[in-house]
Amino acid sequence: MSARDDYHPRHALADPEGFYDWAFENTVNPRYAQVVGKIAVRYASPEFYFPGGATQEEFYDSIDEDSSVLITFSHHGEKKLQDVSIAAATVFQAPYLMDRLDTVRVWAKNYYLTDRVMGPLIRPLGTVPVSPSITLSKKYRLKASQADIDDMQVALFRHTADHLATPGRVGVIFPPGTKGGETIQIGVGKVLEMSGDTKITVLPVEMVSDTAKDEGENKAKNRPKNCKVVYGETFQTEEGLTAEEYVGKIAGSLIEAGNTVTA
């Protein structure tokens, strides 16, 4: 089978546990990731903002080096390269994360990973396939029961929580439902709830940019315009918190972060 076929969601539906056992073995190529990060910084040209006016060094120094880290991005891009470039610039160029690159796992939609152009570019970045139910039918023409979809999603959540159970590891999630700044859905909260007493530092990041418009076609361009990456206040996981409570904490941090540069 080709690499594209390996990531096809039919495999996740057929054997969710086996599929995600395999998917989480997709390690980052650190040298490639750093090159991608440098290119992404030049492409997106983001400005970085940290809570309380802290420097990047001060902000990351405040995170316990023994803690796992879950980075949750807001999701504003209307084109593929907007979110990808901003996230790559943020994750793969942060000095604090350089020693952790081989532990990074990034949720990425299946259709990016199976794309002939995007797939080869992002598969070496520790990407883990995510299959939104709407794309199963529209993109892949797969028929799946809700029970099968639930099993697949639970396997993803559990494997993500298991990955973060080892101290020092990093997870990167665009919470489903945040595209365009809409309400955060429950998936990221489920991961944190399943983590139990694992020590995880949650790092919400708000991406703010002006959507560049093509006057002729009135379509968003791939390249972000006036891009700002705003870090929210971090928080620690607490045993006993529900998925809904975690989603509320992430949403509150993202809203506060966004307000600091849009007020």
Q: Over the stretch 199-217, which tens digit does the pLDDT of each residue have?
A: 999 999 988 777 654 444 5
Q: Which of 57, 23, 43, 26 is nearest to 88 (CA)?
A: 43
Give 10-58 pLDDT, tens digit per residue. 999 999 999 999 999 999 999 999 999 999 999 889 999 999 889 999 9
N-terminal to C-terminal alpha carbon distance within the chain: 51
CATH fold for the domain made of 3-262: Glycerol-3-phosphate (1)-acyltransferase (3.40.1130)
Dump pLDDT digits (tens) for 179-205: 444 567 789 999 999 999 999 999 999
Lowest mean pLDDT among 77-81, 82-86, 112-116: 77-81
- Could you tell me which residues come within 8 angstroms of residue 108 by beta carbon, excluding any fewer than 6 positions away? 122, 127, 128, 129, 130
pTM for the full predicted model = 0.90
Phi, psi angle pair for 225, to nearest 5°: -120, 130
Q: Bin 34: left if φ > 0, else alpha if -120 < ψ < 50, else beta.
A: alpha
Distances 98 to 33, 122, 125, 173, 210 between C-alpha atoms, Å: 10, 18, 13, 18, 29
